[in-house]
Amino acid sequence: MMSEKIKTIIIDDNKLHLSSLMILLQRNCQEIEICDTCRSGEEALESIKMHQPDLIFLDIQMETPTAGFDLLEQLPDRTFDVIFTTQHDMHALRAFEAYPIDFLTKPVDPIRLVKAVKVIEERKLPLVSNDLLTEIKTAYQNPEQAFPKIPVPTMEGYTFIKATDIIHCQAATEKGNQTLFYLKTQANPILCSKTLKVVEIEMLKGHSFCRIHQSHLVNRLHLKNYIKDGGQHPKGNNKEKKAAGGWVVMVNGAILPVSKAGKQRLLS
């Protein structure tokens, strides 16, 4: 949890929306320190470089329909959190809801705003990576086609699922000739008849997956926490071997070991 004020920049080309959000933050979120407001991508770029904020509120549609995304693409090494703001568009919102990001619809609801800031303060979501930004932008531009289903071979035939629904994959046996798919849409995993290596390289290549361990492949979209320093299982599970690179906690509560090489891939 952050101990100091959250340095924040508000970016919106609509003066009324910008002022309204600024007032709501001042009234409801004492942990926020507004260090600047900007009404264009060019102005925001300079302000971010100058102020080095912890958080930005970013209107997606400014000069162009994807101006907010275009701004972030110019800052590939960003270390700040992002809360997107957008007009009420059901197609866009449906696309956004598939990702571990926070977004606010205009006019901004104060209760929803406080909740979003609390998530940022407690670091409950990972920073928006470049890969994730690309996926979100694609989903925003093409909400109906952004999530094609992929065929997962099973002993009975094929099961068609969305890559965004996969939380993590795990080698099903010591020999690793089958893979378990853990999904956000159902309690029981799907048993795939392919090895984890084939799943990673052939089936899920191009999606937001990271090989964190010889037995585990995780979807970055569904990461919750990374626990460093390896050692014993975070919950004292003696059946689990030590993890040289730490542990990750997924949104379904799964705690998975990270190897040294996996840590480099995860945090790069």
Q: What is the domain range of residue 245?
A: 149-267
| 35 and 110 co-located in one domain | yes
112 in any annotated domain: yes
* Beta-bridge mates of residue 261: none
The pLDDT tens digits of the residues spanning 20-70 come to 999 999 999 999 999 999 999 999 999 999 999 999 999 988 888 889 999
The residue among 72, 58, 80, 76 whose CA lies nearest residue 14 is 58
CA distance 69 to 73: 6
The residue among 221, 217, 222 whose CA lies nearest residue 201 is 217
| 132 and 157 co-located in one domain | no
| 57 and 168 co-located in one domain | no
211 in any annotated domain: yes
The pLDDT tens digits of the residues spanning 110-126 come to 998 998 898 888 876 67
Length of the chain, in residues:
268
| 203 and 184 co-located in one domain | yes
CA distance 231 to 228: 9
Q: How many domains does the chain have?
A: 2
- Which DSSP symbol is given to 178? S
> pTM (2 decimals)?
0.57
| 38 and 129 co-located in one domain | yes
1 in any annotated domain: no
| 136 and 171 co-located in one domain | no
Angle between helices 110-121 and 15-28 (to 10 degrees): 70
Q: Is the pLDDT of residue 266 over 60?
A: yes
Amino acid at 108: V
Q: Which CATH number characterizes residue 227's domain?
A: 2.40.50.1020
